[in-house]
Amino acid sequence: MLKGIIFDFDGVLIDTEMPRYLAWKSVFEGCGASFSMEQWQLGVGTGPTAFDPAALLLEITKGEAIIATTQAHADQLALDLVKKQPLLPGVEEFIYKAAQAGVKLAVASSSSREWVVGNLERIGLYSVMEAVCTAEDVELVKPDPGLYQLALQCLGLTANDCVAFEDSANGILAATRAGIKCVAIPNPMTANMDFSHADGIVKSFHEINLEDLL
């Protein structure tokens, strides 16, 4: 019987991937440089160790870009865009149905705690999550299984008790390496990724029947 659901945040609950890409694209263009979607995809579902746009811009500008300032500017631009984004289709109904059914809910994200918690509070979903695990909580982010293992620990559940929802290849690998069945929900940013490790693929939460999962 399903006892817990663990969600990735970016691109699963709300589309933050495209706004974050567009924010960095704007920052690069402001420095006279180009920035492709393919470059941004290198870091989707993982952390800056895989791809750090601020470090790339520093290299392109030969040290003229200031990483801290650049990062803060990109984060603010992204947040301004994300605030205009609705929850992804079916998310709110699915989450509240699961909570009412007594299923424990958690978020496991490679993003920062400030970003994830701040946005969860803004969209009204923080209070229904029993655990929120972010980059600051583990040594290695996805595709390492550490975030999912920590989420299981926080929920007091085993991998067999849970299902995960992810939008990226890195996220799916993290969940499956933790022994958790994972459903992929691709979005425009991740649609061309390898989802062969997923246990299922759906277009949105509208396609998921909670009763069947239970």
Q: Which residues are catalytic?
A: 8, 10
Report the alpha-carbon distance of residue 54 to residue 60 in Å, rounded: 10
In this structure, the strands spanning 104-108 and 4-7 are parallel
Residue 44, token pair as written in the block: 């989707």
Beta carbons of 6 and 107 less than 8 angstroms apart: yes
* H or E stretch at 210: helix 210-213
Return the half-sphere exposure (C-beta side, CA atoms, 13 A cut-off) of residue 208.
26
In this structure, the strands spanning 162-166 and 131-133 are unpaired
Report the alpha-carbon distance of residue 195 to residue 201 in Å, rounded: 8
Q: Residue with structure tokens 């992804």? A: 88
- SS3 string, 112-133, reads CHHHHHHHHHHCCCHHHCCEEE
